[in-house]
Amino acid sequence: MKVRVIKLGRIAYPEIKGLGEMFVKRCGPLARPIQVEHLELKEDANVANLLEKPAGDHILIALDEGGQQWSSVEFAKKLQAYADNPAIKSITFLIGAPHGLTDEQRRLAKTTWSLSQVTLTSDMAWLLLCEQIYRAFNILKGTGYHHA
């Protein structure tokens, strides 16, 4: 299985990009055999064309302020459930450009997830998502990174 993080629009600050890439890289040993990768795409990228088919095998989760809120443990359990399902080949997380997702992009998603009740920049949402994926794999492995 593959976990992809797609960020529409470039990440403006190299410090944020470096931290997010660090979390993605650290996922490698924890996530095996799952691959974790991230992509930065143009703001106007056609998301529908980027998604693998059939949609039932490839889950799209859009990050949106109106989405469901999950704790880190709930997220880890959802990630594990997807990984345990042999019909699911990939999970893609979609973070919109600075002005958010379009209605069409939201409609493509199986579900929407809100990282917080506070408003985050798209760059900060990307960084937080990368850390939460890393945290989820730590929770699933029982490493002690997550102190709940």
Specify the pLDDT at position 55. 76
- Quickly count: other Cβ atoms within 10 Å of residue 2's Cβ: 15
What phi, psi does 116 have (nearest 5°)? -165, 160
Could you tell me the domains of the chain? 2-141 (3.40.1280.10)
Specify the pLDDT at position 63. 97
Specify the pLDDT at position 50. 81
Considering only the C-alpha atoms of the chain, give the largest distance between any 2 of them, rounded to a whole number of Å. Answer: 40
Specify the pLDDT at position 58. 92
Q: What is the mean pLDDT of each run of 10 residues along the chain (148 residues)?
A: 95 96 96 93 89 84 95 97 94 94 92 94 97 97 90
Specify the pLDDT at position 72. 97
Angstrom distance (rounded) from CA 44 to CA 104 = 12
Specify the pLDDT at position 52. 77
Per DSSP, the three-state class of 80 is helix
Query: Residue by residue, what is the 3-state secondary structure of 11-63?
Result: CCCHHHHHHHHHHHHHHHHHHCCCEEEEEEECCCCCHHHHCCCCHHHEEEEEE
